[in-house]
Structure formats: structure tokens, C-alpha cells
Amino acid sequence: MNNTQHVTKRLLVTGGAGFIGSNFVHYWLEQYPNELVVVLDALTYAGNRANLASVESNPNFKFVHGDILDTGLVEKLLAKEEIDTIVHFAAESHVDRSIHGPDAFLKTNIEGTHNLLKAAKKIWLDDGIKPHRFHHVSTDEVYGTLEPGAAAFNEEHQYLPNSPYAASKASSDHIVRSYHHTYGLNTTVSNCSNNYGPYQFPEKLIPLLIANCLDGNPLPIYGDGKQIRDWLYVDDHNRGIDLIVRNGLDDNTYNIGGNNEWSNIDIVMLVCELMDEQHPEGAPHKNLITYVKDRLGHDRRYAINASKIIEQLGYKPHEIFETGIRKAIKWYLDNESWWRSNQSRGQTR
């Protein structure tokens, strides 16, 4: 196991035009202005070039429109740009979509990840070992569901995925691990809790609530609304990835969480209260709440134990939920043209 710090100079960020990926690109270029960031994104419905508009003129930023399934393209990028670090966000990620169309999830999340690993092995290992790191961004959903009162997921928790999305991410986690143990590739994995913040696609819970409050549309709640999730502000997630990429031990998994469990119905009530304050037209917005049939295979509770990254790497979230959610709502109110333009790009509800 390699315990030395990984020095980053030239990054390839897959899925860098999506929600978390684009926030990561903004974060990295601000924190490390002298490092090159190359984004590879297929610009499917959830990828949006506009998310990167403010960095397009940065001389240390490059955008490539392409698919992680194109192994030759990835090999060319790694060699031409002398990439030393891959941060792999690119994935199909919406659970509802995976229920109705799982094929795309298996292709992108499993085959796509494998193609990246093959390309990385060829460029970084086959012609002499080059300094490198492959960081794979995963999800807490690979662990399955928790009963109320059960201990939060730690990195040793058994994988028990319950949706095609979660199963595809679990599979990709295992493939990443295998490339370390079989070929010696320097890999790390992070499993994060639910993210929220700027640039999140409007079909996800929090931006969907904000948009529907503004339009006076129903606020759909699955089942009884008592499903519990741990919520993490997106830049706190990016701080965690930063620590792992630079200081994490290779062949290690790190959970990144906010220590911030909320039930879905409580999230909805809080967003309604804050929307009443910031957009009083239509208040009280809680009158828009509508209960709908529960999602198939809906996991009851997720909770992340982030003690490993806290103790080993000094991680600490900067945002508590009460401050982060206000930031998120303000961003969506200030950027209405952004989310309105995205509402027509494949929304499922």
C-alpha cells in the first residue's frame, strides 16, 4: 500500500458538466489555479455545458465532448494531456430512471468505468509506471437500506444494493478495486450521501421542490415521506474528494457524509417554510404537498459514518444543513433561467 502523498498537476474529470462534477471543477480551479483540468462529458440530459460557462475562458480548463465508453478517446486524452489524476463522476444516477430503464445504467456505470480503467492501465502502467491516481466517486446506496436506530454505514459494511442504479455502482466499485489488486493501479473510492447545491438537475428532490413551489405545482412525496437520508452540501463533498485524491491511501474506500439525517417529509416542510420566507407569493407552500405511490424497492434509510475520513484525513463539513439549504434555495431563485432551461431536458416527473 502506498502511503505517500499524491501530487496532482493535470486532472481528467469525467462527467464534469453534471451536477457534482461541475461543482468540483469550479472548486478545483479556484483552489489550485495552476493545475490543468480537462473535462470529458457526453452531455446527456443531465450534463450541461452551461454549468461550466464561468470557467470556459480559463487557460487551465479544457472541455472534450465525448463518451467514457470510447476507450480510444480516453487513451488519447490521457497521453496527449499527460493526465496524472482521474476523478470519475460520470454515471447514470437517477434511481427512478434505473427502475424504468436499467440498461443504460449497466452500460455507463459498469462498462464505462471499465473502459476508463483499461485506458488508465495502458497509459499509466503498461509502458512503465507513471505517478497516477484513479479516484472513483460512488454512493451510499451500494450498502442497501438501514433500519431505524441501526448503526450508520461504515466502509466495512456489506454491499446490498436494492435498485439497478445502486447495483451498477456497486459493480463499478468492485471493478475499480480489482484493477488495484490485479494490476497495481493506484485507486481510491468514495461513497457519499445525498448531495444538494447549485447546478443540480431539476428532477432531484430539492430543486424539484423549489421549482414546483415557484410554479404552484404539486410537491410529490413517495409513500409516507418518512424515508431518511443523510444530506451533504456539494462543496463539502468536493473537499472530501480533494483530501482523498491528495492524501488518501491507495486501495482505500472513504465514506463522505454530512452527519445530517433528515426524513423526506421534514425536508419538504423545511423547504416550504424557507420558500414562504423568500418567495411569499403562493404561501403557505406546504399546501402543495401531495402523497404519491411509493417507489419500487425504495430504501428506507441511509446514514453515513464518516469517521474514517475525519480521523485519517482531517475532513470536516463546512456547511450545516440550515445554512446549506438557504444557499441552495438562493442559488435556484437567482438562476431561474438555468433550471427552467433544464426542465425540458428529460425530466421524468
On the question of pLDDT at 344 being above 70, the answer is no
The residue among 194, 172, 173, 161 whose CA lies nearest residue 297 is 161
More confident: 5 or 116: 116
Separation CA 338–CA 54 (nearest Å): 13
pLDDT digits (tens, 9 = 90+) for 143-166: 999 988 899 999 999 999 988 899
pLDDT value of position 4: 65
Strands 261-263 and 228-233, by their bridges, are antiparallel
The residue among 320, 347, 306 whose CA lies nearest residue 140 is 306
Separation CA 69–CA 50 (nearest Å): 23
Identify the DSSP state of 103: H
Among the options 92, 141, 242, 319, which is catalytic?
Answer: 141
Phi and psi at residue 196, to the nearest 5°: -150, 160
Q: Is the pTM of this model over 0.85?
A: yes
On the question of pLDDT at 335 being above 80, the answer is yes
- Map out the domains of the chain with their CATH numbers: 10-196+232-259+303-319 (3.40.50.720)
pLDDT value of position 44: 87
On the question of pLDDT at 299 being above 90, the answer is no
User: Residue 120 corresponds to which cell in the numbers above?
Assistant: 488508465
- Asked if 296 and 222 touch (Cβ cutoff 8 Å), the reply is no
Average pLDDT over residues 55-59: 98
pLDDT digits (tens, 9 = 90+) for 206-221: 999 999 999 999 999 9
pLDDT value of position 93: 67
Residue 11 C-beta-side C-alpha neighbours within 13 Å: 30
pLDDT value of position 39: 98
Active site annotation includes 332? no
Active site annotation includes 165? yes
Residue 150 C-beta-side C-alpha neighbours within 13 Å: 16
pLDDT digits (tens, 9 = 90+) for 62-107: 999 999 999 999 999 999 999 999 999 998 866 667 676 788 889 9
Among the options 67, 92, 143, 165, which is catalytic?
Answer: 165
Looking at every residue in the chain, the average pLDDT score rounds to: 92
Separation CA 112–CA 172 (nearest Å): 9
H/E stretch holding 26 reads: helix 19-31
pLDDT digits (tens, 9 = 90+) for 92-102: 866 667 676 78
pLDDT value of position 74: 98
CA 248 to chain centre: 19
Among the options 67, 140, 299, 319, which is catalytic?
Answer: 140
C-alpha pair distances (Å), 113 with each of 86, 101, 116, 237, 298: 11, 19, 5, 20, 25
pLDDT value of position 3: 54
On the question of pLDDT at 301 being above 50, the answer is yes
41: buried, middle or exposed (CB in 10 Å: 19+, 13-18, 0-12)? buried
Separation CA 289–CA 203 (nearest Å): 16
Cβ within 8 Å of residue 234, ≥6 positions away: 19, 20, 23, 195, 196, 197, 198, 200
Q: List, in sequence order, the alpha helices (H) in the chain.
A: 19-31, 71-80, 95-100, 103-105, 113-121, 164-183, 205-215, 234-247, 264-278, 307-313, 321-334, 336-343
C-alpha pair distances (Å), 82 with each of 5, 71, 104, 131, 182: 19, 16, 30, 11, 24
pLDDT value of position 311: 97
The end-to-end CA distance of the chain, in Å, is 46
Average pLDDT over residues 26-40: 98
pLDDT value of position 202: 84
- Asked if 235 and 197 touch (Cβ cutoff 8 Å), the reply is yes
Active site annotation includes 41? no
Coil, strand or helix at 171: helix
User: Residue 74 corresponds to which cell in the numbers above?
Assistant: 480516453
pLDDT digits (tens, 9 = 90+) for 37-49: 999 999 987 789 9
User: Residue 199 corresponds to which cell in the numbers above?
Assistant: 447546478
Separation CA 231–CA 259 (nearest Å): 8
Q: List, in sequence order, the alpha helices (H) in 134-203.
A: 164-183
pLDDT value of position 300: 86
Task: Calculate what percentage of the chain has a pLDDT beyond 90.
Answer: 77
Cβ within 8 Å of residue 293, ≥6 positions away: 222, 223
